[in-house]
Structure 1
Amino acid sequence: MKQQFLLGFTLLALLASQALAQTAALEQAYREPINKAAYRVGPGDVLQISAGPGAVRQENFMRAEPVGPDGRISFDLVGSVYVENKTSDEIDAELTALLSEYIIDVEVTVVIASYQARRVFVLGEVGAPGQYLINKNMTLMDALTLAGTPTLRASRAKIRLIRSTSTASKPEIVKVDLNKITKKGELERDVALVDGDIIVVPPDTLSKIGYFLDKVLRPLQPLFYIGVITGLINSIF
C-alpha cells in the first residue's frame, strides 16, 4: 500500500513539475525579445532597401518595396527578385551580388520596415526555445526549424500545438507526431500556424524521470556527502 501511494505521489509530482516548467518557459518567452534576424519574409511585408557605391546612398536607389503575392519585389537595375522565405541578411547578400554588376563596390542595406507577421512560441526540447515571428505561409515544421529543431531528449511523437480561439472557452490542443511527417512523409500533418500558437515539445519519458530525480535528489547531495564523510570518520576511529 505504501509503495502504491509513493508511486502515485511521485507521478503527481512529476506531472505538476512539468506543468510548472512549461508555464515558466512560456512566461520567459513572453519577456524575451523576438528574434527578428531569423524572420523570413513573406507576401505583404515591406522592405526598406538602400544601395550605393561604398558608404554613399543615392536617392534613386532608396526604396520601400512591398513583397508581392508571388513573393517578389521589383528593384532598379535588377528587376524582379524572389525574396519569400529569405531573411533580411540573405536578401541583402543577393541584391549585393546582383547590383555589383552595375555599381562598383556596392553596399546594400535591407531592413524590414513593416511586418505582415505572426508571433508563435516554441517551448520545451528544442535548440532555442522562445518566441518567433513567422510569415503567413509557415507551418509547424518551419517554426521548429527556426527554434533549432527538437533535441535528442524530445518526445517527437507527442508534440502539442496549443491554439486559442475566439469562439471556444478553452484552447484547442492539436497532437502532432513529428515522426509521421519526417519519416513517413505525411505532410498533411504539418499544421499551418496562426498568430499566438504555442508549440510544446515535451521530453521523452526517460528524460522526464531524470529531470524529476535531479530536482528531488540534488538538494539532498550535501546530506549524502555529510553521511559519507561521517561514515569514513567512524571507520577510521
Structure 2
Amino acid sequence: MQSIKTLLVIVGISTSFFLDPVLAVPQDADIKRGGGPSSAKSPISSSDKSLLIVTPEYIIGPEDILEITVWKNADLSKQVQVRPDGRISLPLLGDISAVAKTPVQLTEEISVGLRAYMENPTISILVKEVNSYQIYVLGEVNKPGKFPLKSKTTLLQGITVAGGFTPMAARNKIVIFRFSKDGEGLTKLKASYDDIVVRDGSIQNMELKPGDQIVVPSETMVVLPSR
C-alpha cells in the first residue's frame, strides 16, 4: 500500500502536512433509502485516502502504521501497525496503548518509559499510513459495512451512507461502541432516531469518531421490560 502524507513529531517539535478535508461517503455507487435518514450518492475512490487530514492534533487509531525512531539507537527503532486492540509493541517497553492519542502524546509516553534505560532519549514518530479513519455500521441497515470517515460526520450521516434503516430496524435502540479516551477499552453510547428527529434530541446526533461501531439492532432483538 502506498503511504499517504505523513506527520513527523519530535519531542518539543511538530511538523505537519495539511490536506483537504472531505466528508464521509460510501465506497460504491448509489445508496437507497431504507426508512431512515435520506439517501445520497457520493462515490469515492481509493485515491481519496490521500485527502485525509494529518495535523499535530491527529488522533492515532487502529491499523495506522507508525514509524518510531529512537535517535542513535537502531535496535529500539521500529515500524509498527496499531493492532485492533489499540496497542503497539516496542522493545524494552512491551505493549503500549497508542489509540486515541496524538503522536505528540505517544512520543512523550515512550520517552518517559525509555528514561529508565537511557538518559534523555530523543523520539520521533512518523505516521506512515492513515488506515483508521473508518466507521463501521452494522445490523439493520441496507448496506452494512466499513466506510471512510472524513471531516465531521454525525450519527445520522453515518446511517445515511449505510443506506438507511431496514423495515426491521429498532431505530430507537441504536448503540455506538467507541474507544475510550485512554484507549484501554470501549465505551457504549445509545441514541434514538425519534429523539433526534422528533423530540429535539440533537445531542444524541453525535459527531462520529474514527473506529466507531454503530449497531442498529432488529426489533426482534429488543426485549421489552416486564411490567
TM-score for both structures, normalised by structure 2: 0.41
Bigger radius of gyration among the two: 1
State the structure with bigger RCO (CA 8 A, min sep 6), 1 or 2. Answer: 2
